[in-house]
Amino acid sequence: MNASDPTRRIFHQLELVNPSPYSRSEYIRRAAWELVQLLLIRPSPKRAYSWRRFWLRVFGAEIPASSKTRPSTVVRHPWLLKMGEYSTVADRVDVYNLGLVTIGDHSVISQGVEVCAGTHDYTKPNLPLVRSEIVIGSGVWICASAFISPGVTIGHNSIVAARAVVTRDVPDGVIVGGNPAKVLRDRPMPDRYS
């Protein structure tokens, strides 16, 4: 590679990246949690919701008795997870919560969704870790295999369509879809249930 060619210059320098961005105590806590997920949560019966809630709470999650996770749900840092009443995190959801992830009441995170509350600052050559917060409102439905980007807020009563890539905040009461996700229409919310 010709270093004098500005179009071929490499901006980020991987030798400058911090190989240990967490404190020692956090690495120990993460290792213990990974063992619990592997040995006690993954093999648990599908309907053993209280068992999984117990272990999430032991490691600092705020999760009420009415909310559920599945055996194949992956939570990276339970101490950075807050769930509201009657919310569900489905099979194969990856809650990559390097930053705080808050899920409101009566919200559903469907199978295969990735909630990514961590990235790197690409404007700096050493790519420092960025631990961003994600807020998912109440009454939200995130459909299968969607991707929720760091720092995003999803408004109350909104729907994220299957396989959508959400890179910006979503207002209340809308349906978004696509890559990048755009507002498709308002969410119908009739006054009466059928």
Active site residues: 120
Contact in structure between 117 and 101 (CB atoms under 8 Å) = yes
Backbone angles phi, psi at 102, to 5 degrees: -115, 130
Contact in structure between 175 and 186 (CB atoms under 8 Å) = yes
**How far from each other are the two terminal CA atoms of the chain, in whole angstroms?**
66
Neighbours of 119 (CB within 10 A): 17
Q: Of the candidates 87, 148, 69, 140, which has an alpha carbon nearest to the alpha carbon of residue 113? A: 148
Contact in structure between 154 and 170 (CB atoms under 8 Å) = yes
Rounded to whole angstroms, the Cα distance separating 61 from 75 reads 10
